[in-house]
Structure 1
Amino acid sequence: MTGVQARNRYLFLLALRWFPTGMWVPLLVLLPLERGLTIVEVGLTVSLQGFVVLALELPTGGLSDSWGRRPVLLLSSSVCLTSVVVLFFADTVAMFAVVYALQGVHRALDSGPLESWYVDATLAEDPDAKLERGLSAGGTVAGAAIGTGALVTGGIVAWVELPGMPALVQPVLLMAAVHVAGLVAIALLVRENPHPDGKRALLASVREVPRVIREGVGIAARSRVLLCLLAVDVCWSVGMVTFEKLMPIRLSEMVGGAERATELVSPVSAGAWFVNALGAAAIMLVANRIGVGRTAVLLPLLHAATIVTMGLVAGPVGLVAAFLACYTVHGASGPVHMTLLHREVTGEHRSTVMSMSSMVAQPAFAIGSILLTMLASGVSTGVAIVVGGLVLALSSPLYLPAMRAEHRIPAPV
């Protein structure tokens, strides 16, 4: 398989992976609220996902490095499909807790293998390949897929009426169908080189997990750059609570109801993910001119400014405008961050280190969800959004070691 073939398959699989996630975006907070959960209960159930990821992230990352990317991707997709089926019937705190616990298992399994498979396949053909190009294209495709999914959810909620089925539940049926298609696509398209030991037996791979984890943790512990990049994930994840969880709540407060907010959040979320894709595509123009590291230092400050604006504006028009600006910078930040991360690790431990990144990000998001939703409930949603933006701004100086390291290594030919 050539690098171009790997890239095309990677982008196609990304589209199938993130389209149903986009459909879930408008429902993430509003569906539980419509089914009777409070804001605090939503924050608590969503946080369960992060704690499950914290427990499983390193073992699943090590499993991907020892067992193989393809089997882990198949397992991840199956778990995600199960969570969507439970979501269709969920109407209590306990059932939504099961949904997000399964999502935590899925996220732990899913956090590294597809991107690691693509990076390894690309570097196998050209060790000097510029990873930021493919990762930027991946960010563009993922953003466009999420935006399209959110738009589809809005259309279903606004115009489709299935007898006896609430409007906010209808999109879940299509989400399940797309997950089935994604599972089949992974089985057909992901191909790997033979395992060094000539086999990929599950039990043998599980026995290798502790060794892979120890080596991956050792790599991170010896690298100041990697430690700072992991700290960035913490600040970034807390900031993400503001535009993933709190923005729909603030919009519903402004327009007067969850169903009306869903009709607005769907096209707005679609637009947000389209500009997210635009940001991912355009940021390489900046990075090629001033360097990936310097770009990474500047982006969190701009990102935080858009979030603080979301918390301070008084009307829905200003909120939506700041939200779109926020997602543009969010899309630009992803490829830059992942490029710096991949530069610090080799293929043997790539998924493990990526899992470490997700391991610190998910519980940070979970704790941020609990604290910021409590702040939103006790004080105001606007104040909670501003606080989240200020936390995200703290990640800017954490990119300085990566920026200095970039100047010490020769640029790829």
Structure 2
Amino acid sequence: MTTTLSPDAAKRVFYVLSTTRWLPVGFVVGIFTLVARERGLSIEEITLYMTAQGVMVLLLEMPTSGFADVLGRKPVLLAAGVVNIVAGVAYLFAQSFWAFALAAGLMGVYRALDSGPLEAWYVDTVHEQEPGADVHKAMSIQGVLVGVGMGGGALVSGALVAWHPFEDSSPLLLPIQVFVALCVVHLVATLVLLSETPRSEGRLGGRLASSVRETPTVIRDGLRMLGSNRVLRYLVLVELFWVTGMMAYETLMPLRLAELLGSEAEAGVWMGPAAAGGWALFSFGSWLGGWLAERLGLVRAAIVGRVVNGLGVVVMGLALGPVALLVAYLFTYTLHGAASPAYVSLLHREASSRNRATVLSMSSLVMQGGGSAVGPLLGLLAARTSISTAMVVAGLISTVGFVCFLPARRRDRADAEVENAEVTPSHG
């Protein structure tokens, strides 16, 4: 597959679209959860309705990634953009458990469509000119841009909630409205900027029909690869541990903050600057992750980032006041960013152009599906004990996930031993 853009031009597009994709998300960090709470849903209902997102990802992740690998990255990304806008509107008007579940389900469809195609498009472009090149530097810079975009969005979101210009509606709704508008901007940017040579000849209808026929083969080959490649299998499995910790600092943290402050609206005001700081430190963490990967190697950098990230979640659970909770949250997000470049680069090592989006989607599938299973369990634990207890348990489980990097570590050592044997002169 070839593209019409040079690697440098593709890199610029990759950075721009990564920013426009994540900037809107910054406006709604914690907001959907707080809106649901404000509209009467319990903690158990909130963690339960969110499983709709994971279920849709579980059902659609592999088929949509197969479409991206066969039909092309751009058509799938455009479809994802449209669904994202519809999901945002659904959240804006949701009033009941089932309405929120519908919105979460639509967001799951979007996540399934969006997971992998942009990265796959960029990496394939690079590998056309530099086959097998590691992309952790570009992923590190992307992480910085994502952090800056989300942090800026979150900061403005908090200011909008505090400003509350429309007294006849909840102060939490304006950030969602901005989110929808910015999602439209991202859709237009994708349409205009992303250039891709069709991966098959003929009209769109014929290519779509061909992709439907070929997608099961791509999925089957991806699953076979997962079964035969022990390193990839464990790299994908690590997402199950990581998403447990992520549920704590993305779902339970806003609820714990509201609990400490005594108000969902006040928590929304705090969440803006907190999320902005978190994503600013995520940017620093992404840069740090690239630096660690250069000095420690991809595997050890990923292990360090994921272990310390999990420990940060434990500290969040132990925090007794809002300030302490936010400090621990900022620390945790820093290491969230630090682990990502190395981890993603390890996934790309195991993939090829034919199955790259599928490999990335298998990882996302485990994360989203795992979140669907873990979320209600953490919600039940929080309801039966406390939110703090659930956060500590989530952090401990996340930390244990470092064992999933050990097969990759052992293979790196074996490769190093072979390389040393080849360069060591024989005597005899």
**TM class by smaller structure:** over 0.9
Superposition TM-score, scaled by structure 1 size: 0.97
How far did 1:151 drift?
1.0
Residue number in structure 2 paired with 1:326: 332
How far did 1:299 drift?
2.3
Whether 1:193 aligns to 2:197 is yes
How far did 1:319 drift?
1.0
Deviations 1:71-116 (A, max 9, x none): 0000000000001111121111111111000001000001110110
Whether 1:165 aligns to 2:169 is yes
Whether 1:374 aligns to 2:374 is no
How far did 1:406 drift?
3.0
Residue number in structure 1 paired with 2:224: 218
Whether 1:114 aligns to 2:126 is no
How far did 1:301 drift?
2.0
Residue number in structure 1 paired with 2:300: 294
CA contact (8 A) 1:2 1:125 kept: no
RMSD of aligned alpha carbons: 1.4
Once the two structures are superposed, the pairs formed by residues 126-145 of structure 1 within 5 Å of their partners are 126-145=130-149
CA contact (8 A) 2:151 2:278 kept: yes
How far apart are the structure 1 equivalents of 2:413 and 2:158?
Answer: 46
How far apart are the structure 1 equivalents of 2:163 and 2:140?
Answer: 34
- Alignment match of 2:246 (pick from 240, 246, 249): 240
Residue number in structure 1 paired with 2:422: none
Superposition TM-score, scaled by structure 2 size: 0.93
- Alignment match of 1:48 (pick from 46, 52, 57): 52
Whether 1:182 aligns to 2:208 is no
Residue number in structure 2 paired with 1:260: 266
How far did 1:409 drift?
4.6
How far apart are the structure 2 equivalents of 1:131 and 1:180?
Answer: 29
Deviations 1:145-200 (A, max 9, x none): 11111111111111141253221111122111111111111111111134244565
How far apart are the structure 1 equivalents of 2:287 and 2:305?
Answer: 15
Residue number in structure 1 paired with 2:70: 66
How far apart are the structure 2 equivalents of 1:190 and 1:408?
Answer: 40
How far did 1:352 drift?
0.8
Which amino acid is 2:343 matched to?
H
How far apart are the structure 1 equivalents of 2:179 and 2:415?
Answer: 44
Gaps of at least 5 residues in structure 1 are none
How far apart are the structure 1 equivalents of 2:238 and 2:219?
Answer: 21
How far did 1:298 drift?
2.3
Gaps of at least 5 residues in structure 2 are 420-428
Q: Secondary structure at the match of 1:91?
A: coil
Q: Secondary structure at the match of 1:28?
A: helix
Residue number in structure 1 paired with 2:320: 314
Taking structure 1 as reference, are residues 218 and 97 closer, same or farther at Cα in structure 2, changes over 3 Å only?
same
Once the two structures are superposed, the pairs formed by residues 2-21 of structure 1 within 5 Å of their partners are 2-21=6-25
Q: Secondary structure at the match of 1:395?
A: helix
CA contact (8 A) 2:30 2:250 kept: no
Larger deviation: 314-323 or 163-172?
Answer: 163-172
Number of residue pairs aligned between Structure 1 and Structure 2: 411
How far apart are the structure 2 equivalents of 1:409 and 1:281?
Answer: 27
How far apart are the structure 2 equivalents of 1:290 and 1:338?
Answer: 16
Deviations 1:44-79 (A, max 9, x none): 111110011101111011011011100000000000
Residue number in structure 2 paired with 1:353: 359
How far apart are the structure 2 equivalents of 1:409 and 1:154?
Answer: 49
CA contact (8 A) 2:50 2:101 kept: yes
- Alignment match of 1:279 (pick from 285, 294, 297): 285
How far did 1:202 drift?
1.2
Residue number in structure 2 paired with 1:148: 152
Deviations 1:118-157 (A, max 9, x none): 1111111222533001111111111111111111111111
How far apart are the structure 2 equivalents of 1:283 and 1:172?
Answer: 31
Residue number in structure 1 paired with 2:424: none
Quick check: which has more Rg, 1 or 2?
2
Deviations 1:271-310 (A, max 9, x none): 0011011100122212111111112222222112111111
CA contact (8 A) 1:217 1:353 kept: no
CA contact (8 A) 1:293 1:340 kept: yes
